[in-house]
Structure 1
Amino acid sequence: MAQQKQFDVNLLRVFLAVCRTGSYTLAAEELDLTQPSVSNAITRFKAVIGEELFVRAGRNIKPTAMANYLYEQLNDSFTNIEQTISGLEGFDPITSERQFVILAGDVVTHFLQPALEEIVKDLPIEIIFREPPDYDEDIMEKLYQEQADLVIDMQLPMDLRFEKQLIMSETPVCVVRKNHPRIGDEISWDEYFDERHVVIKMRRFNLTAVDLLTDEVLPTRKVHSIKSSLLTAFDTISAGEAISVSPKRYVEDYLEMFNLKLVQPPFKMRNIEIEMVWKRKHNKNPAHIWLRDKICEVVGNSI
């Protein structure tokens, strides 16, 4: 009896990467292969399947109905296999020269980066913090394409490709200059809306921080200026009479530097829930587990 030719599992890996990225070039970058190698692998996989898998759509490629069917049937199973295998791999922080990339804004970076740098200062490991893109789909695409190991931010979108863990819950407070001529230790509703505001614009949501954190329909505020960075907001507040909102623990570290004081908001605001998100395939990856554990350790020690 003729022996059946052994199937090359690497063809499946290339096929799934091309489906995910919609590009031979991007799949080649993801898999650290050349573009001709990817094209050759798809040709070989097409010969195994016996049907066309991708067709040209302008400069891009588009999966056929058969390719979509195979992707839906095979992707989760293949991811689970990779996840299981990666969970068996060892990771030693003493000898590993691993570089981790974390996407996080200035508040999270302020809390985590100094403590994590202290943890790895005598290790060959490097942890790099980068600003996340402005839009959710770009943030999650970077995570999916493994251009980042983790994203730490608020209200991140979710689907079955990712895992999510709440790691920080920050209290929002009003911030004003310490010797503000009209605002003492408390502020009323009318006083709050009589003042001019330094608005923190949340580009991802196209909302201000205040609007994002309250269910109330608030009156229109008098805008002093619009900022995307809290530090520039603090500097503006310290030099004038404007008011703004900040996570309490974050601004507490800058009260003396900017001559600021905290006041409780005159309306109910939700806590700022900060989550850590990672690609599900790394659930059992020892290196990723080590990184997530260290982050949770730092957050636990800072509360």
Structure 2
Amino acid sequence: MAQHKQFDVNLLRVFLAVCRTGSYTLAADELDLTQPSVSNAITRFNAVIGEDLFVRSGRNIKPTAMANYLYEQLNDSFTNIEQTISGLEEFDPKTSERQFVIFAGDVVTHFLQPALDKMIKELPIEIVFREPPDHDADIMDKLYMEQADLALDMQLPIDFRFEKKLIMSEKPMCVLRKNHPRIGDEISWDEYFNERHVVIKMRRFNLAAVDLLTDEVLPQRKVHSTKSSLLTAFDSLSSSDSICISPKRYAEEYLEMFNLRLIKPPFKIRNIDIEMVWKSKHNKNPAHIWLRGQIGKLVELKFNEHG
């Protein structure tokens, strides 16, 4: 390896970003640099190491054996340094003008956004809720690129770059209108599948929500309509004899409005587990610690409120 009296640590930061993203362009986006700047930094780092660290493979680049070795040796240490430094940053919610972005679906947003809005009403902070992208990989990429601070969602993939914490576990229930002509206080397997269903489509999975929550192979349902929002599903239930599956606590808040009631599904079904996911780099960041703490407190209060 060539000997250098002074080593530019920024070269290491760029190298690790290129390894993680597999792209000069994506690394440039992550680091807020231009693509030529990233390419130049890698050229300089090649000179420091004394050999090429990436090779072209079609339109993509691939790390060499030396690059893989350096990444394995250096990435954890560099991440720990970043976490330590970010942990020293001061954060005061009374004076900070920080904007936080949270990926969350309509159920989680319904529970948390009004409470968070109320909590920060007199603060200069902004907390913005956005619908998550359609694909898991896009959610994780945007989190990694710090285009969002948190994702509050179900069944996100396990990834060593991120931390997870279970924050909500919702019981699924069957929802139908109060004066349904055929269904009483209980519903049998045959009754359930003889009825027409409002199907809640999960965009990320291209499946009906109920199929994600049971290990049983369910018969094909008679479809009354397909919805991407539970509120529009409740509206359909109120004016038809159709049925659907919904998180219990969420549905309870709309039973009176839409003249609905709840009964237990006739098959084994798992709870809807909502996890909070964030980039590991922010474990010790005071702003992120504050945000995660506020969400944890609000979820606990909401759960106690609903029993």
Within a 5 Å distance, the mapping from 1:64-79 to structure 2 comes to 64-79=64-79
Tell me what 1:189 maps to: 189
Tell me what 1:113 maps to: 113
Within a 5 Å distance, the mapping from 1:152-231 to structure 2 comes to 152-231=152-231
Using structure 2 for the length normalisation, give the TM-score. Answer: 0.93
Please give the alpha-carbon distance, in whole angstroms, between the structure 2 residues aligned to 1:66 and 1:301. 52
- What secondary structure does 1:13 align onto? helix
Paired-residue identity, %: 82
Task: Write the letter of the residue equivalent to 2:123.
Answer: L
* Shift in Å, 1:59: 3.5
* Shift in Å, 1:4: 5.5
Tell me what 2:126 maps to: 126
Return closer, same or farther for 1:219/1:53 CA change in 2, 3 Å cut-off: same
- What secondary structure does 2:163 align onto? strand
Using structure 1 for the length normalisation, give the TM-score. Answer: 0.94
Unaligned runs of 5+ in 1: none
- What secondary structure does 2:276 align onto? strand
Aligned residues: 301
* Shift in Å, 1:82: 0.5
Please give the alpha-carbon distance, in whole angstroms, between the structure 1 residues aligned to 2:64 and 2:172. 50
Unaligned runs of 5+ in 2: none
- Maintained 8 Å contact 2:96/2:124: yes
Tell me what 2:261 maps to: 261
Task: Write the letter of the residue equivalent to 1:196.
Answer: R
Residues 59-88 of structure 1: CA distance to partner in whole angstroms, max 9, x if unpaired?
A: 333322222222222111111110111112
Residues 245-275 of structure 1: CA distance to partner in whole angstroms, max 9, x if unpaired?
A: 0001111111222221111212222111111
* Shift in Å, 1:123: 1.2
Residues 186-214 of structure 1: CA distance to partner in whole angstroms, max 9, x if unpaired?
A: 22222211111111122323332222212
Within a 5 Å distance, the mapping from 1:6-25 to structure 2 comes to 6-25=6-25
Please give the alpha-carbon distance, in whole angstroms, between the structure 2 residues aligned to 1:82 and 1:197. 50
* Shift in Å, 1:148: 1.1
* Shift in Å, 1:282: 0.9
Please give the alpha-carbon distance, in whole angstroms, between the structure 2 residues aligned to 1:35 and 1:208. 41
Please give the alpha-carbon distance, in whole angstroms, between the structure 1 residues aligned to 2:296 and 2:164. 13
Please give the alpha-carbon distance, in whole angstroms, between the structure 1 residues aligned to 2:133 and 2:226. 19
